Amino acid sequence: MLGVKARIGSGRPPGEGPALLQGLIVCANCGRRMTVRYHSRKGQLFPDYVCQASRIGHGGKVCQTIPGAPLDEAITQLLLKEITPANLEISLQVEEEIQRRHDQTDRARTQAIEQLRYETQLAQRRYLRIDPDNRLVAAELEASWNEKLTSLQHAQEERQRLMFSISYKDKNIR
């Protein structure tokens, strides 16, 4: 399915997060349930599906890691395409689920943005406090401030973009 080495299992353990397939995805290598791990890049959170049951249980290695975003997107497209009157009710549940996960992701993004905003202010204050004669340090602090500012802008733009893409999808299927 979808050319990735994983398949969707049935049932779902407790615990949930923004990744769409959290608790649903089963590793095709070893049959264990995959968990979600987030990594942050430029102030954005990206989910990965990770098979690490053997690592946790027996100190072994991570079995495999699949980037979450393209997989979630592919599954979402697949689900949206499969909608017919016969499965409309289940589709609506799926849609609600997608929306709910999206809201959770958005909350996580908002928190990441708040954190970046704080770090940007901190970097700005550090820069403004430095003696201008200390050029090397001043240049470093300025670069760090600019970097934070760029991350913050990226995170804000990405959040806007994703909010737009979700509401656009909603209009398409209703």
Q: Which of 24, 36, 45, 63 binds Zn ion (CB under 5 A)?
A: 63
Query: Which position's Cβ is nearest Zn ion?
Result: 63
Q: Which of 7, 8, 29, 56 binds Zn ion (CB under 5 A)?
A: 29
Nearer to Zn ion, 51 or 94 (CB): 51
Interface with Zn ion, residue 6, by CB under 5 A: no
Nearer to Zn ion, 19 or 63 (CB): 63
SS3 for 115?
helix
Judge contact between 132 and 138, C-beta under 8 A: yes
Rounded CA gap, 114 and 47, in Å?
19
Residue type, 107: R
List 35's β-bridge partners, or say none: 50
Interface with Zn ion, residue 27, by CB under 5 A: yes
Rounded CA gap, 48 and 38, in Å?
6
Nearer to Zn ion, 51 or 141 (CB): 51
Interface with Zn ion, residue 26, by CB under 5 A: no
